[in-house]
Chains A and B, each alone.
Chain A
């Protein structure tokens, strides 16, 4: 019995090994397809792909015109997933997002209350300018993002896997916006900041967008393949000292620790356990994308900011001193070593 189980396990591991190579190859193709439409932004693209393979959601933050929406649309084309877009506005209601029950007439002519699915029923959901909607509407995504289902009129409706939310927000125009609640923020695997492109990237953008040629992005990965890749990701081994480092890092963001002088001075609430899960899962994907089959401390350090920057709430003293979350996190990581 044990031998048969072991054999099955070895077989599954063998297939996992092949899948890991397949994953690295496919992700390379996705990168190439995205780079046809998006110039530069390598870190943002990698972050989005890591979140897609780790099974999380991404919050993109950047000034207008930096290609956030373009990136999401290109990704949707490259991965051949059902794509849906919601433009969040102050008058958007939760029913506009998740759907509602409407009176429907069947073939026999009788009228019944039936569920009309909202735009959330897609594989890849773009929540554009999510901070423009009220917290009530923003909270409509909570159940969908965590449990991959929505509940309307006491009935739960499962969302199709893979379900991947990419939200964007503009950090400049804060007037008429509603900051995302902490529970909502914690559900995003990464918060990626889209930087302004450099000189060469800007030249590339101008060349591609002001001429007659339009980039054609072909789909290279589909939904089931992405689900297979997600199972491969979880098989990547992790050394105990790397896990210990993640635990230390997460605990060091909490102000309750005796040794966390920096956190106790500037941080009101530290990272949740989701932050530690994000660091490890993201590290596994990053290792595979890097051609490795083990998570290293370097992977964890590289994902520290996108994974934890939105899970930490600073206190008044930090705001008065002008301390940024990224700086604090880097200082904390530097102290841990």
Chain B
């Protein structure tokens, strides 16, 4: 009957919003934990605000005690939550103090976050606070009351209980009087408190240090960057970056002024040749190099290069690079014609066209480089093909470089025809003497034999290292002492293999027989 009343009460209180939210929370918790909600029937005694209801007079004292215990539990949860949040805030302040120059902004932000976090933690803890029933369960567990209090609270809606429920309630109240519940739930300092204290000290020390000093991590990075070790590591990288930067800048400049250069395309081409020739002529003249680079980059050399002590080396390297480009530039000169060289512009005009000519020459160099790399790749591809033996004249042309000599061309055409006619022979031509293959084939035709399948390599069984069989030595050889290998174990292993027991159970069978053997012993 009591349960029937509970169901009625539960259906009445289901209309309230609080119950709806607690039911939603139970549903969500059940969903998260993969279980169904604990109480499909949710009586009022299980709610968080049960003490606000008019609880029975004989249960008021236990409910007041439970309220006090719940306040202590809430305080502990709040303290630990706040302490954890403060730890994060202080850690953030330490990072900001070590990195940032503007401490005031970070201080304001930290205070703001601390306040917002504290409010959010309080709201969350209050929202998810234990109900009186759950608090009673905690008390039962800690005080060893064998679920007396929680059952009494659960059955607390009966106003004038009789029978078993009345006796249960009396029993619970009398047992609760014998324990000191407040002593069982003290307000404790959170475990994160020492860590938070250390963080507070660290923040205070850091901020005191920052009154007269820069951010320590920034200062450390700057000092490290100026150290000789980092400089020595950085110089080759800076050199490479500088070269790439110069090239890209010159190309960009060329494209921007490309439209003007198109009007006098032939002149630009000739000026490019002139530039390289002048560069060649200039040879090791550093002043001319520096001037050229200034003109190409459109900015001072000091800005493109790093430290001043590297300028000489980098410009020399750049010079060497340009010198190395001279051969392919010469090849370009052969193709582009010689008439333009006769119409030499004056020096001023030559200097004005230097930027365009440099860009064009770089493009041409890239084209040449790609064509060379493609040629190199085709060479490499050919070299990877199997080379025929020298004495095999008829089919040896199949794999030679095509078109080099007349004989080669003939052999190539013959090889192609052979490939069409005798594909099987060509398939074996790279492996050995084709003539020998033909002979063998002829022999096979004259002396036919039954086809015998080739030997096929069997796959490894995987049981190679599972079996250890003791083999008795031959007469006259020494017998090796084998320790800790019971005879039964060997028999079992061999027997397991013979009986085709699945591998996953073989160990169990072996263990079983070993155990039996040990028992017998």
A residues with a Cβ closer than 8 A to B are 6, 9-17, 20-21, 232, 235-242, 244, 248, 258-259, 292-299, 316-317, 320-322
How far, in Å, is A296 (CB) from chain B's closest CB? 4
Pairs across A and B, CB under 8 Å, 26 listed? A10-B162, A10-B163, A12-B163, A13-B162, A13-B165, A13-B166, A14-B162, A16-B164, A21-B167, A235-B163, A237-B154, A237-B164, A237-B168, A241-B38, A244-B38, A248-B35, A293-B164, A293-B171, A294-B146, A294-B168, A295-B151, A296-B147, A296-B148, A297-B147, A298-B147, A317-B508
Residue among B1, B152, B161, B515 with most chain A CB within 10 A: B1
User: Given A17-B166, A259-B34, A317-B508, do A240 and B39 touch, yes or no (CB 8 Å)?
Assistant: yes
**Distance of A232 Cα from B163 Cα, bound (Å):** 10
In the complex, B150 has a CB within 8 A of chain A: yes
* A residues less than 8 Å from B512 (CB atoms): 320
Nearest residue (CB) in A for B175 is: A292
**Distance of A20 Cα from B163 Cα, bound (Å):** 9
* A residues less than 8 Å from B39 (CB atoms): 240
* B residues less than 8 Å from A239 (CB atoms): 147, 150-151, 154
At the interface, is chain A mostly helix, strand, loop or mixed? helix
Bitwise, B156-177 to A at CB < 8 A (1) or not (0) is 0000111111111001100000
How far, in Å, is A335 (CB) from chain B's closest CB? 14
Contact of B167 among A20, A242, A259, A322 (CB under 8 A): A20
Nearest residue (CB) in A for B150 is: A239
Are B155 and A292 closer than 8 Å at their CB atoms? no
**Distance of A295 Cα from B168 Cα, bound (Å):** 10
**Distance of A15 Cα from B167 Cα, bound (Å):** 12
Contact of B164 among A6, A235, A241, A316 (CB under 8 A): A235
At the interface, is chain B mostly helix, strand, loop or mixed? helix
Nearest residue (CB) in B for A240 is: B39
Using a CB-CB cutoff of 8 Å, which residues 468-521 of chain B contact chain A?
A: 505, 508-509, 511-512, 515
* B residues less than 8 Å from A298 (CB atoms): 146-147
- Contacts A6-B1, A320-B509, A320-B511 known; 11 new A-B pairs at CB < 8 A: A9-B1, A15-B163, A17-B164, A20-B163, A235-B164, A241-B147, A259-B34, A292-B146, A293-B165, A294-B151, A297-B146
In the complex, B296 has a CB within 8 A of chain A: no
**Distance of A15 Cα from B1 Cα, bound (Å):** 14
Are A241 and B508 closer than 8 Å at their CB atoms? no
* A residues less than 8 Å from B150 (CB atoms): 239, 241
Closest 3 CB pairs of A and B: A13-B163, A320-B508, A293-B168
Nearest residue (CB) in B for A300 is: B147
**Distance of A236 Cα from B166 Cα, bound (Å):** 11
* A residues less than 8 Å from B46 (CB atoms): 240
Nearest residue (CB) in B for A320 is: B508
Are B154 and A293 closer than 8 Å at their CB atoms? no
**Distance of A292 Cα from B150 Cα, bound (Å):** 13
Nearest residue (CB) in A for B144 is: A298
How far, in Å, is A252 (CB) from chain B's closest CB? 11
User: Given A14-B163, A240-B38, do A316 and B168 touch, yes or no (CB 8 Å)?
Assistant: no
Bitwise, B194-217 to A at CB < 8 A (1) or not (0) is 000000000000000000000000
**Distance of A232 Cα from B165 Cα, bound (Å):** 12
Are A237 and B165 closer than 8 Å at their CB atoms? yes
How far, in Å, is B153 (CB) from chain A's closest CB? 9
Nearest residue (CB) in B for A21 is: B167
How far, in Å, is A25 (CB) from chain B's closest CB? 14
Are A237 and B167 closer than 8 Å at their CB atoms? no
* A residues less than 8 Å from B166 (CB atoms): 13, 17
* A residues less than 8 Å from B515 (CB atoms): 322
In the complex, B2 has a CB within 8 A of chain A: yes
In the complex, B137 has a CB within 8 A of chain A: yes
* A residues less than 8 Å from B35 (CB atoms): 248
Are B2 and A237 closer than 8 Å at their CB atoms? yes
Nearest residue (CB) in B for A295 is: B147
How far, in Å, is A115 (CB) from chain B's closest CB? 42
* B residues less than 8 Å from A15 (CB atoms): 163
